[in-house]
Structures are given as C-alpha cells and as structure tokens.
Amino acid sequence: MFSPRVLKSASSLMCRGFSTGQMCRQGKAPDMAEVRNRLREIVGASTNWKDHQQALAERASLSQYLAQSQDELPAKTMKDSAIEAHLPLGTQPALREKYLNYHNSVRFGRILEDLDSLAVLICYSHTWNKELKRSPLSIVTALVDKIDMRKNIIYPDCDIKFTGHVTWVGKTSIEAKMHMSQYHDGAYTDVLDATFVMVARDPQNKRAAFINPLKLEGPEEEAIFQQGEINKTRRVELSTASLLKVAPTAEERTLVHNLFLNTLDTRTVSFRSRILSPNSVWMEDAKMKGLEICHPQERNIFNRIFGGFLMRKAYELGWANACAFGGCRPTLVAVDDILFRKPVEIGSLLLLSSQVCYTEGMHIQVRVHTEVLDPLTQQHSTTNVFHFTFRVEKDIPAVIPQSYGESMLYLDGKRHFDETMRSQG
C-alpha cells in the first residue's frame, strides 16, 4: 500500500539534504548509478579495494554520533524519505546491454539489485542528519518481505521509474515500500510492488543502532503504518510456526501421508518400495546447484558482498531450475520472504542450491538456499534462503518428496505458494 500524496511529493523532495552529492541533475530524478554514488558518499565508502581497511577505520570514529536512545532523534515524515529514481533504458541505449536477456526482455536479477540499493537510500533519507558529512549508521537489508509482479513483460528499451518511501519504523528497523513502473505507449504502467525491511547498525556493523521515529500525517499514513505493524506480526507468526520449530499441522500430516500412500508399490506393499505416479517427478531430481567465488567487484558500501548480487544470483539459478523442470520459459509471479541471516565476506566460496519444492497447476515454487564454505575449516554457514513463485503456460508434473526432510520442504513450499496466492487474490 502506497500513499499517492507521499509519492507525488517524491520529485520535489528527492534532493532534500543531498545537494553535496550532486544527486539531482538540474532538478531531474537521479538514475541508479547516481543512487549508488550517493550511498558511497553517505558512508564514506572507498572506491578502491586496496583502501577499504582505511575506510573502515575512519567509519569507526563515527560511533560518537550515534544516539543513545530513539528519543534523542527528531521524528521524520514519510515525505522526508520519498524518492524517485529512473532507469533510462529508453533514453540511454548504452545502458541496455547490462539489463538485456536473450529473450529480449529485462534481466530481473538486475532489477533486484536496483531495488536493494534504492531501499537502502530510502532508509538513509529517513535517518539523514544534514549537520554530518557522513552517516554513523550502517543500514543493511534484513529481509525482502514481498515482491508482487503486476506485469509479466518488462521492455528492454523503455524507461523505468522507481518510487518509494519509508512506511513503518521500529526502534532499529525500517520498512520501505517501492513501486516500479515503465513508460510504454505514452504512459507509465505498473510493473511491481516491493516491501523491504532494513536494520540499522553501528558504523562497524556490530550492534543495533537507534533510528528516527516516524511522524504520521493524516489517516492515510496512519493506515500505511498500521499495515507495517500487521506485516511485522505476520512475520513473527510465520517464524513461530516454522517447520524447523514445530510439527506440521494435522492437515499437513495427512497430506504428506497421502503422498506416501500414493507412491507405494502395490505388489510388495513395503515401506521401502516406492513408485512414481504418472506425471510426477521425485524432488531429488528437481534440483540445480551453483558456486560463486565472491570477488571485491561485488562488494557493497560496507565491503561485504552486495545483497542485490546475492538476490540476482539466487533468482537466476531459481529461474533456470524452473525452466528446466517445466520445459519452457517461466515468468515470475512473486518473490517472497528472502531472509538475510548473515553477511557474506569478500573471498567466500558461496554455494547455491535450488530445489523445486512444490507445484500446482501451472505454478512452480522454488526454494534457493545459499551458504558459505570456509575451505580451511570445511565449515558451512547458511547466509540466505530465497522463495520464488514462477508460472508457465502449461500444466507441469507434480513434485513428490521421498524423505521426511523433503516432505518438510514440500510443506514449506506449499505454505509460501498459498500465501502468495492469497496476497494476489
């Protein structure tokens, strides 16, 4: 849910407090390159990898500017964080190559990178202190709550517009909503809505830091804020009911048992003997894996791997898995519940594992799990879990679990799919 009044004010307010960064070109909305340049200026990030240790040491001195309580900070309005940014694919042809895929459409993984950068800048806009040259806060992505697609086609040669603002604030966390539209046939049309949750940390990204409270102006903004409270409550409830913490419901246990019974070999009637039913695939055969060596090129402003890069790689692997499973090109329906468990350091070996975990009709639910491997200790640490819902233009095989662990993945996938369908229905 967006406030039209707030977003309408974005063009006039997007440069507030940012004139030193030359973010606005003659009153025009910034492009994504300017968004990233402004983020580097806000935290004093080094543009050369060899200087990153010095930049980190300089940021440590900013701790003296952190508030000791939220009460010390002035309240900000939604208009204070309202931003409009452009991706000029139509007016800057040289930019298209970076975003183009071989289907002559836009690489959605690149859009995820842009959304992540914009969400961070929105939150810095909310917390900006014009008396300081650098922000003492390290604002990082905690999770992507939801991305709902409004349109399947993104044209590679038409300008894109992003708008967004802060919609909810806790003591150390912020919810930012963004809207993406594209100029085509003489008008901007809706493409997607995205909700990101960010957290504020100290300059060294070691502990939580307080952020400015949100001042609500009118019933419309109060309704937006209340939706943020509802989103927070929903996330807590989903976490509490996680299959990693509590047993499946009675209905879910019945579903899993029926899947087992339907794959029993009627000739042997053995627990060990399983036979696939027609038009179905074992979950074990619906996987795809990848590996990334994390180079400095993909670092964020805090010299860790950029969250948008992780999202892009996970999405592309999930898309490829859905494509191979469905036998045709899938389209994205929704991105749901991307959780950032821990940062990924430069030089890490990043292992990505994609699993088709649930199917229904023409829909494919894909889960991508990422972890880092320390080659010296051989220790694996989970960094992210991604959930993507895709759609193809034909009915697809059912995916069938064999083990208990696969059954839990199946139920988790079904939960995410059902939630996506409810939110879009």
| CA 415 to each of CA 203, 400, 421: distance values in angstroms, whole numbers, following the listed order | 38, 16, 10
Q: How confident is the model at residue 211 (pLDDT cuts 50, 70, 90)?
A: very high
Most confident segment among 103-107, 268-272, 362-366, 400-404 = 362-366
Residue 107 has pLDDT above 70, yes or no: yes
Per residue in 362-381, pLDDT (tens digit) is 999 999 999 999 888 888 99
- Is the dihedral angle over the CA atoms 284, 288, 293, 297 positive or is it negative? negative
User: What is the percent of the chain where pLDDT is above 90?
Assistant: 68
Strand partners, 160: 87, 182
Per-residue confidence at 238, pLDDT binned at 50, 70, 90?
confident
Write the CA distances from 150 to 35, 191, 331, integer angstroms. Answer: 24, 5, 12
Residues contacting residue 148 through CB under 8 Å, at least 6 positions apart: 192, 193, 194, 334, 423, 424
pLDDT in tens, 1-24: 566 556 554 444 444 444 333 344
Q: Which two tokens stand for residue 200?
A: 């504020």
Q: Which two tokens stand for residue 391?
A: 């759609």
Taking the C-alpha atoms of residue 414 and residue 372, their distance in angstroms, rounded to an integer, is: 27
What is the band of 57 on the pLDDT scale with cuts at 50, 70, 90? confident
Residues 300-319 have a mean pLDDT of 91
Closest CA to 230 of 152, 137, 167, 278: 167
Please give the full DSSP string across 90-151, using - where no structure is assigned.
Answer: TT-GGGHHHHB-TTSSB-HHHHHHHHHHHHHHHHHHHH--TT-SS-S-EEEEEEEEEEEES-
The distance in angstroms from the start CA to the end CA of the chain is 15
Give CA–CA dist 346/276, Å, rounded. 44
Query: With helix as H, strand as E and coil as C, how does 168-228 read?
Result: EECCCEEEEEEEEEEEECCEEEEEEEEEEEEEEECCCCCCECCCCCEECCCHHHHHHHHHH
